[in-house]
Every structure is written in C-alpha cells, then in structure tokens.
Amino acid sequence: MKRYSAFAIAREAARNHIGWGRAWAKRPPKKRYDVIIVGAGGHGLATAYYLGRNFGITNVAILEKGWLGGGNTGRNTTIIRSNYLQDPSAAIYEKARSLYETMSQDLNYNVMFSPRGLMMLAQTEHEVRGYERTAHANALQGVETEFISARRVKELCPIINIDGPRYPVLGALWQARGGTARHDAVAWGYARACSDMGMDILQQCEVTGVRQADGKVTGVDTTLGEIGCDKLGIVVAGHSGVLAGMAGFRLPIESVALQALVSEPIKPCMDVVVMANTVHGYMSQSDKGEMVIGGSADGYNNYTQRGSFHHLEHTVSALIETFPIMSRLKMLRQWGGIVDMTGDRSPILSATPLGNCFINCGWGTGGFKAIPGSGWGFAELMAKGQSPLCDAFGLNRFTEGRFVDESVAAGVAH
C-alpha cells in the first residue's frame, strides 16, 4: 500500500497523479475464509480491521451487496459523542470516541475527526436534572463532560438564542472532546487498511442464504457463489432481520426512516455541535460550510430511504427558534436512511443460537459515533467469545428484562 502523505501528493503532482493505485484491492472471492463479515458498512469494516489488528485474523472477507459504506455510514449527520448515561453505553461509545482521536494516524487516512465540542441543550427543568445526572455518571465512567450554564452556551455558540420564548436554554451538557468526522472517509479508511492486511472486500456480493450443519454456520450462498467460513459476523443494520431470517433466528428489531438535511454552504458561524432534544433537532456545520441537521425518526416501518416531510418541518421550525440566523438560509438537500431500532433502543452485539454466528445491529440512530468501539468489541467477541464492551448488549437481555435504556437521559437521538 502506498502511504498517504503530503510528500506523496507532491510526488504525484509532478506526474499528474497517475501513480495512485487502488485504495482497496479488487479480488475474486476465495472458497473459504476464517471469518466472513456480511456488511461493508463502518461497523463491518471496523470489525474486520480489529480482527486483523488485535487478533491477527486476516483471512477475512467482507461481503457487501451494494457498495462499501453505502448505507447509514454515508447517510448520517456524523456526530461523535460518548456522553451516555448507562455504563455499558458510555463504555462502548467512549471507546469509540477515543479511537476516533487517533483514527487518521492509525489508518493513514484522514477521517477529519474534529473534536470541536458538543452540547446537549437543557430546555426544561426536567432536562436540567437529567443532564446533571449524566454528568455525574460520566465523571465516574471516565467520560469528560460537564454541565454548563446558559451564558457559557452562548459564549461557545453565539448564534444560539438562549432566550427563546417557549424553551429558554437553561444550560447544557458539554462534551469538549465530542465532535464530528468525515463519514465516508471512515469507511474508506477502514476498507483500505483491511485490504492492506490481505482481507477481501467483495462489493456487489449479496448473501442469499446461510449454510448450516450441526447447529453451526458452514458458509454463505452469495450472488458470487458459495463461500465457506469458520465464523460468520452479520453487520447489516436495517437488513438484519432479513439475514437473521436466513440463519433461522428472530430479532427484536424494527426498521424505520430517519431523515436529515443540509443547508447551502455559508462561511463558518458555528464551531460546536448542538443538540436540542426537547424540540427534536440537532445541528453542526460541516467543513464545507453546510449546516447539517437531523431530527426524529418516523413512526412506522419503512425501507424506502424516504421519510415524511412533516418531521423535517418540525425540526426546521425548532432550529429557527434556537438559531434565528437559520431563517434566511436555504435547504439544499434532504435524505433518509433506514435505521434498525431495538426494543430498548440500544444495540445488539451478541452471539446467536448458531454457535459460530454473531450479530451486530440495532444501532438505531446512533451508529456512526460507535463505529470503532463497536468494531473493537465485536472483533473481540468474535475472536474470543466474550468481550466486556459487548457483555451488556446480548440478545438474552430481552428475555431477562435487563435493558440498556438511554431514553432516560435523551428522548431523541442522533
């Protein structure tokens, strides 16, 4: 693999950049792999990467029915934070956040992690108490957050109107090392690193069946033929139900549309990420200058990657109240993604009834920020059969009633 650097660019500039090779190799599938990961989104690629890096397992194929990073990895609002309330969530999201800090250097691919700071506005007394609780929990979890005053909110983000007539800002939960990253680059960077370790990324390769014998997976049928494996990891987000169906088990998952939009680009005016859960909206400014905005999920099962307009309407009106400068900006583009929601809105990183088959899904609206932590933990689970980061996110929690419920602290997501 050619190392990326300013020097490499300068060298290539001299010959019109004709010397750059493929970021990831294109190879036909082998007959058999030690591990097959289904799904070349951020979570699947990160899992493969840490299987190789942490456990030396490199005879790995990552199967993707479309193009890598083409699902929710490339459709989200790129927010990274770990200010979660419950211990298991804080652990995996903080692991992820800390891995984002060094990801560009680890992968030799600039994912533009920008720890610009993230605030969740408290706009009711109830929210103040909720975020104070989270701040206390975070202090013991090793997650650096603090509850800040409305005045500090205004200093950090001058375009906020803290005196809104209906929901004045009473303070905020502030995570100084939260921020954003370039979503596509995360998938591309992992893909390049996986390929460099000799793993095969098979795009346009759809799984059509899961082969089993004696209660174990032996391989998968795909549009590129049958491929054998010793272990199977299913990391396909909204399509988890379909894959689980092929493997013969059911999941506590429903797929719904979540929408986002961007404004036209303007010069820098907002240096932090702001989430306002009372009014269901959140916003940051991309490096290109677009205001990136997300809202709440639709209330019905949906696989169309289109949502209903009235959700955007509510999000936009709330953001104009919170950020009055938004009024005369224009919406450039809106889109939808399909998110997989579990019964307690927390993810599933779990063994399955099939001994050598593992599933990673249910990230709902919070998947992007978790990618490296999810990959780290899930790789450990697949390699060793157990991982502290994944322990609380097993499928058995739905039998036992042992939920990891984050709605306690934040009704909405992002």
Partner 1 sequence: MLILTCPYCGVSGEETEFHGGGEAHLKRFGPGASEADFESYLFHRENPKGVHFERWRHVNGCGKWFIAARDTATLQVFGTYPAQTTEPPQEIRDKITAARPGWRWRDFA
Partner 2 sequence: MSTRLQTGGRLIDRNQRLSFTFNGTPMTGFAGDTLAAALLGNDQMLMGRSFKYHRPRGVVAAGPEEPNALVGLGQGPRFEPNQRATTTELFDGLSAISQNHWPSLNFDIGAVNNHLSKFFPAGFYYKTFMYPRAAWKHLFEPIVRHSAGLGKVTQPGDPDRYEHFYAFYDVVVIGGGVAGLQAALAAGHAGAKVLVMEQSAHWGGRAPVDGVEIDGKPAEDWVSATLQALEDMENVTLRSRLMGAGVYDHGYLLAYERVSDHRPGTAGPRHRLWRIRAGRIITATGAIERPLSFAGNDLPGVMLASAVRDYVVNWAISPGDRTVIVTNNDDAYRTALALQMAGLIVAAVIDARPTATGALPQAVRDAGIRVETGRGIAKVKGRARVEGVALCAQAGEGAVLEEIPCDVVAMSGGWSPVVHLWSHCGGKLTWDAAQAHFRPDPDRAPADQDGAPFVIAAGAANGHLQAADTLRDAAAAGQNAAVALGRDPADGTAARANAVAEEPLLPVWIMPQGAGPDLRSKMWLDYQNDVKVSDVQLAAREGYESVEHTKRYTTLGMATDQGKLSNINGLAVLSDALGSDIPQVGTTTFRPPYTPISMAAIAGEARGDTFLPLRRTPMQDWHDANGADFEPVGHWQRPYTFRRGGEDRAAAVKREITNTRTNVGLLDASTLGKLVVKGPDAGKFLDMMYTNMMSTLKPGRCRYGLMCDENGFLIDDGVVARLDDDTFLCHTTTGGADRIHAHMEDWLQCEWWDWQVYVANLTEQYAQIAVVGPKARALLENLGGMDVSAEALPFMGWADGTLAGHPVRIYRISFSGELSYEIAVPAGQGRALWDTLLAVGTQFGIMPYGTEALHVMRAEKGFIMIGDETDGTIIPQDLGLDWAISKKKDDYLGKRGQARSHMTDPDRWKLVGLETLDGGVLPDGAYAVAPGSNANGQRKTQGRVTSTYYSPTLGRGIAMGLVHKGPDRMGEELEFARTDGTMMRARIVDPVFYDKDGEKQNV
Can you give the binding site for partner 1, defined by CB under 8 A?
239, 241-242, 250-255, 299-304, 308-310, 342-343, 398-399
The dihedral built from the CA positions of residue 42, 201, 387 and 113, taken in this order, carries a sign that is negative
Minimum CB distance to partner 1 smaller for 81 or for 239: 239
Minimum CB distance to partner 2 smaller for 4 or for 55: 4
Minimum CB distance to partner 2 smaller for 122 or for 361: 122
CB of 279 to partner 2, least distance (A): 8
Are the C-beta atoms of residues 255 and 243 closer than 8 Å to each other? Answer: no
70, 241, 252, 394: which one binds partner 2 (CB under 8 A): 70
* 72: three-class secondary structure by DSSP: helix
Q: Residue 303: which of partner 1, partner 2, none does it interact with, CB under 5 to 8 A by kind? A: partner 1
Q: Residue 250: which of partner 2, partner 1, none does it interact with, CB under 5 to 8 A by kind? A: partner 1
Minimum CB distance to partner 1 smaller for 158 or for 299: 299
d(CA 162, CA 385): 49
CA-wise closest residue to 55 among 383, 413, 363: 383
27, 30, 34, 129: which one binds partner 2 (CB under 8 A): 129
Pair of tokens at residue 354: 């099939």
8 part of the interface to partner 2, by CB under 8 A? yes
Q: Residue 137: which of partner 1, partner 2, none does it interact with, CB under 5 to 8 A by kind? A: partner 2
165 part of the interface to partner 2, by CB under 8 A? yes
28 part of the interface to partner 2, by CB under 8 A? no
The alpha carbon of residue 184 and the mean position of all alpha carbons in its chain are separated, in whole angstroms, by 11
Pair of tokens at residue 189: 């960077």
Rounded to 5 degrees, what are φ and ψ at 260?
-145, 165
CA-wise closest residue to 42 among 375, 377, 387: 375
102 part of the interface to partner 2, by CB under 8 A? yes
Size of residue set near partner 2 by CB under 8 A: 121
CA-wise closest residue to 270 among 155, 157, 178, 176: 157
CA-wise closest residue to 356 among 205, 194, 211, 206: 211
Specify the stretch interacting with partner 2 by CB under 8 A; choose among 31-39, 125-133, 216-224, 233-241. Answer: 125-133
